[in-house]
Amino acid sequence: MNKAETNRRGERGGAGAKLLITLIVLVLIGNAGLNFIPVAYEAESFKQEMQTAVVQGLASPTNGLKPTEFVKLKLLKAAKENDLPTDTFMDIKQNGSSIQARVYYIKPINILPFGIYTYNYEFDHTATPVGFLMKSFN
């Protein structure tokens, strides 16, 4: 009969090293998530604000302001609330009976700690009114 080998070198240790590597990977993924998720959330919130500002500029009375100026004021306020970079590009123009707002910015995000890897989050969105509002103007 075969006796089982009692001294198996390949099966000794390694559990602590594997645990350490797993914990390091989890910490890096958690750090990336903690840095990326707020920026992505702010961008999506700003998209909603853009859409709201364009519709309000087209449909609401603007208290003596041109609709494009009204939309620009709303977007500047929303940009400050959503912590957008100071070099954010905003282009608001009126196309016939419609208003179009385009916003572009790049925001650096430290994905890995100690500045090992920085991701440049690029936001480029154009908001135009859609739905029943545009059907009533055409």
Question: 60-88: per-residue pLDDT in tens?
Answer: 776 778 889 999 999 999 999 999 999 99
User: At residue 121, does pLDDT exceed 60?
Assistant: yes
Please report the pLDDT score of residue 133 as a whole number: 57
The neighbouring-strand residues paired with 119 are 109
* pLDDT (average), residues 129-133: 70
Domain-wise residue ranges, the chain? 17-137
Give the single-character DSSP code of 4. Answer: P
Give the list of residues 6+ apart from residue 7 with CB closer than 8 angstroms, or none: none
Q: What is the pLDDT of residues 21-49, one digit of tens each?
A: 999 999 999 999 999 999 999 999 999 99
Residue 45 to residue 55: CA distance in whole angstroms: 16
**Closest to 127 in 3D by CA, of 81, 77, 65, 72:** 72
Residue, of 101 and 15, whose pLDDT is higher? 101
pTM of full prediction above 0.85? no
Residue 10 in this model has a pLDDT that exceeds 90: no
The per-residue pLDDT for 91 is: 96
For residues 50-59, give the mean pLDDT: 89
* Predicted pLDDT of residue 90: 96
Residue 96: the pLDDT is: 81
